[in-house]
Chains A and B, each alone.
Chain A
Amino acid sequence: MKLYSLSIHFKGATKANLLKAAYDLSSFSFFQRSSVQEFMTFTSALIVERTSQGSRASVKEQEYLCHVYVRNDNLSAVVIADTEYPQRVCFTLLDKVLEEFSRQVDSIDWPSGNPETTNYKALDIHLSKYQNPREADAMTKVQAELDETKIILHNTMESLLERGEKLDDLVAKSEHLGNQSKAFYKTARKQNSCCEIM
């Protein structure tokens, strides 16, 4: 039952702008961590870009579940978890983080900010605390009040894409991925093992 990454973005007109991110990569093998981190950033940004304003969604990709909330003011958060981690707690976390962030960071800074300049320090702590969903969320035992029918479920990343769009192209163009990660993605693809770097 794990959370791997928690990130805050601003959904711009054409692309998502990463404002802050926290990662827990301890369960990945040491030499894969930097690539994994890049792919998680890439994935989170892509999901924000493809999710409509004012909606929540969960995207399944291999053994990961990415949960996203894009607010009406375009402030967005994504958490990447495994399939055991309760979905309801994820959305509670996203709500909480966005609320706190919007109080601490002025909205004027959202469209153009970046992780280095953004002054919000609590993301790591939230990620760490929520690793144990029951400690973090005393309400877990109470069944969901969250209207789960309103959460869109995507069974693959592909279903987020436009017709004709290919994930490979997006990977190649992405500014979130270093050359090594891109090259590795290519080889993994060729061997038909998809993103098994994760």
Chain B
Amino acid sequence: MAESEEEVDVLVQRVVKDITNAFKRNPNIDEIGVIPCPEARCNRSPIVLVENKLGVESWCVKFLLPYVHNKLLLYRQRKHWLDREALVDITCTLLLLNPDFTTAWNVRKELLQCGVLNPEKDLYLGQLALTKFPKSPETWIHRRWVLQQILDQFLAVSHNKTQEQQGEAEQPNADSSRQLSDHLTRTLHQEMRVCSDAACRYPSNYNAWSHRIWVLQHMAKGNGKVFHDELSSTRLWVSMHVSDHSGFHYRQFLLKELITEHYQTSASATINGSSQHWSSTLPSSGPHQHSCSQTNGELSGAEAANEDDRQLSFTTVLQLFQQEIELCSDLIQSFPGHETLWSHRRHVFYLLNQWRREHQCSSRGDNNSIHLNDCDPGMSEVSPQSYAGREESVNGQNHASEPMELDRVSLPNPHDSKRLKRGVLLPGTPTLTSEHSFVNSILDSCCNPEQRRFAVAYKKWLDTVTGLQS
């Protein structure tokens, strides 16, 4: 099908227009694709719009793409002028066909910067491109640039507001700052969805998961609740994608962040009431009736409360680890032979132990160090922490929870006892012993050769870890 240059020109202009019009007609387009169609059918547009899906018939791509690509390059080289509208349309077409064409994204950056384009438009365009090209590195990179623009705007606005408020003794404009922060929250959640969709479309989609991490690092700094929520909301996903290494790595990141939060909370708890923020993000593992409504600066009686906060968050983090190991065990048993699950277990167990050791070191320097291989949750003599109010059954005896106050009174050195308590493990906390017994139970019952291999390797690794830590 030999097309003359003019014919191609006309065809392409028409296609670009059809695409633009399709978006105008239907603002809810949520997916793009190429329709396998080797030949054009009598003068019909190659652009097909069905149920919110935008398709381009494959026959026209070989005309369309080189043509628009060329046009944009000529524009860049200042050999050919394109007005802003044309630029928007052409880059849109280009990026839907090839989102790794950096130049096109850069042209859009310029348009954004001079106010011609709304950043939301680029987020939408990127989202569409990702439905067909879920890994596209340039799309993710551009997305981060756009988000950074949005964040900068937000910061600028709230900074201005504070200045205004300081300048005049006016009531703070609570409404609009609420609006801004709602907007940010919505953007955050949208990003989580985009990442999740892309992760579904391509296995172990490193770029999507990395982006997800970036978003949390930049848009959810210090917000423990978001990390907790992400941990719960990805739980089902990873259970249905047991060989998706990137998905599990994301959970390792979340756990690490929660540990860091815990440290920061502990460190600053006595300085100001920032613990209040942390305790408000606790998951509902039991009734925490806790007097944590401390505002900045109130130190009287805050000491005790902050101490409780630290204990609370310690317990919480420990529980998270425990749950993660349990999830891992569950999946390993249900779906034998996936290396990802064993790899995840290593990471989690290692993190847990590192954190526990550091925590023990920082809270009291000396003896009574709980060696990992000594620790048997079943033989603990000290009453277990039960801030959740539940009664732990240890060695068949029920130990009721003991309020902190009593301990402080009964023992000669209250601080020692608290430190001691902090060093004690909750029953059920993974230890070297329990890990060995888990591996052995797998080896005893499994007949999947891969599973066997991974279990043996894990056993060896456990021994190495003991070596490093004793």
Using a CB–CB cutoff of 8 Å, the interface residues on chain A facing chain B are: 1, 27, 29-32, 35, 63, 83-84, 86, 132-134, 140-141, 143-144, 148, 180-181, 183-184, 187, 197
In the bound assembly, the distance between CA atoms of A169 and B58 in angstroms comes to 24
Asked if B445 is at the interface of the complex by the 8 Å CB criterion, the answer is yes
In the bound assembly, the distance between CA atoms of A180 and B132 in angstroms comes to 20
Given A1-B240, A187-B38, A31:B53 Cβ within 8 A: yes
The smallest beta-carbon distance between A84 and chain B, in angstroms, is: 5
In the bound assembly, the distance between CA atoms of A148 and B336 in angstroms comes to 14
Q: Which residues of B contact A31 (CB under 8 A)?
A: 33-36, 48, 53, 55
What residue of chain A has the Cβ atom nearest to residue B39's Cβ?
A: A183
The smallest beta-carbon distance between B62 and chain A, in angstroms, is: 11
Asked if B125 is at the interface of the complex by the 8 Å CB criterion, the answer is no
In the bound assembly, the distance between CA atoms of A83 and B132 in angstroms comes to 22
Tally of contacts, chain A with chain B, CB under 8 A: 62
The smallest beta-carbon distance between B172 and chain A, in angstroms, is: 48
Contact B241 A1 (CB under 8 A): yes
Of the candidates B51, B201, B241, the one whose C-beta lies within 8 Å of that of A84 is B241
Given A1-B241, A84-B335, A29:B131 Cβ within 8 A: yes
In the bound assembly, the distance between CA atoms of A169 and B51 in angstroms comes to 35
Asked if B362 is at the interface of the complex by the 8 Å CB criterion, the answer is no
Given A180-B36, A184-B36, A84:B338 Cβ within 8 A: yes
Q: Which residues of B contact A134 (CB under 8 A)?
A: 334
Interface centre among B36, B132, B201, B334 (most CB of A within 10 A): B36
Contact B334 A141 (CB under 8 A): yes
Mark contacts of B45-65 with chain A using CB atoms, 8 A cut-off: 1 yes-contact digit, 0 otherwise.
Answer: 000101101010010000000
Contact B334 A30 (CB under 8 A): no
What residue of chain B has the Cβ atom nearest to residue A30's Cβ?
A: B53
Contact B333 A1 (CB under 8 A): no
What residue of chain B has the Cβ atom nearest to residue A134's Cβ?
A: B334
Mark contacts of B12-52 with chain A using CB atoms, 8 A cut-off: 1 yes-contact digit, 0 otherwise.
Answer: 00000000000000000001011111100000000010110
Mark contacts of B428-470 with chain A using CB atoms, 8 A cut-off: 1 yes-contact digit, 0 otherwise.
Answer: 0000000000000000011110000000000000000000000
Asked if B243 is at the interface of the complex by the 8 Å CB criterion, the answer is yes
Asked if B242 is at the interface of the complex by the 8 Å CB criterion, the answer is yes
Contact B241 A29 (CB under 8 A): no
Contact B37 A180 (CB under 8 A): yes
Asked if B220 is at the interface of the complex by the 8 Å CB criterion, the answer is no
Q: Which residues of A contact B36 (CB under 8 A)?
A: 31-32, 35, 180-181, 183-184, 187, 197
Q: Which residues of A contact B333 (CB under 8 A)?
A: 141
Asked if B200 is at the interface of the complex by the 8 Å CB criterion, the answer is yes
Contact B334 A184 (CB under 8 A): no
The smallest beta-carbon distance between B45 and chain A, in angstroms, is: 15
In the bound assembly, the distance between CA atoms of A83 and B333 in angstroms comes to 17
In the bound assembly, the distance between CA atoms of A144 and B336 in angstroms comes to 10
Contact A183 B38 (CB under 8 A): yes
Given A29-B131, A84-B242, A84-B243, A143:B445 Cβ within 8 A: yes
Contact A140 B334 (CB under 8 A): yes
The smallest beta-carbon distance between B198 and chain A, in angstroms, is: 13
Q: List 23 A-B contacts (CB under 8 A).
A: A1-B241, A1-B335, A27-B201, A30-B33, A30-B51, A30-B53, A30-B55, A32-B36, A63-B203, A84-B242, A84-B335, A84-B338, A86-B334, A86-B336, A132-B240, A133-B334, A141-B333, A143-B446, A143-B447, A144-B448, A148-B447, A183-B38, A187-B38
Mark contacts of B301-341 with chain A using CB atoms, 8 A cut-off: 1 yes-contact digit, 0 otherwise.
Answer: 00000000000000000000000000000000111101000
Given A84-B335, A140-B334, A180-B36, A30:B31 Cβ within 8 A: yes
Contact A184 B33 (CB under 8 A): no
Interface centre among B241, B333, B335 (most CB of A within 10 A): B335
What residue of chain B has the Cβ atom nearest to residue A85's Cβ?
A: B335
In the bound assembly, the distance between CA atoms of A184 and B37 in angstroms comes to 7
Given contacts A143-B447, A187-B38, 4 further A-B contacts (CB under 8 A): A1-B242, A31-B33, A83-B243, A180-B37
The 6 closest A-B pairs by CB, nearest first: A184-B36, A31-B33, A30-B53, A31-B35, A29-B33, A31-B55
What residue of chain A has the Cβ atom nearest to residue B331's Cβ?
A: A134
In the bound assembly, the distance between CA atoms of A180 and B38 in angstroms comes to 8
Contact B53 A144 (CB under 8 A): no
In the bound assembly, the distance between CA atoms of A148 and B450 in angstroms comes to 14
Contact B50 A143 (CB under 8 A): no
Interface residues of B in 333-361 (CB under 8 A from A): 333-336, 338
The smallest beta-carbon distance between A171 and chain B, in angstroms, is: 14
Of the candidates B53, B200, B445, B448, the one whose C-beta lies within 8 Å of that of A27 is B200
Q: Which residues of B contact A29 (CB under 8 A)?
A: 31, 33, 131-132
In the bound assembly, the distance between CA atoms of A169 and B291 in angstroms comes to 76
What residue of chain A has the Cβ atom nearest to residue B48's Cβ?
A: A31
What residue of chain B has the Cβ atom nearest to residue A83's Cβ?
A: B243
Q: Which residues of A contact B240 (CB under 8 A)?
A: 1, 132
In the bound assembly, the distance between CA atoms of A184 and B57 in angstroms comes to 12
What residue of chain B has the Cβ atom nearest to residue A86's Cβ?
A: B335
Q: Which residues of B contact A143 (CB under 8 A)?
A: 336, 445-448
In the bound assembly, the distance between CA atoms of A70 and B161 in angstroms comes to 73
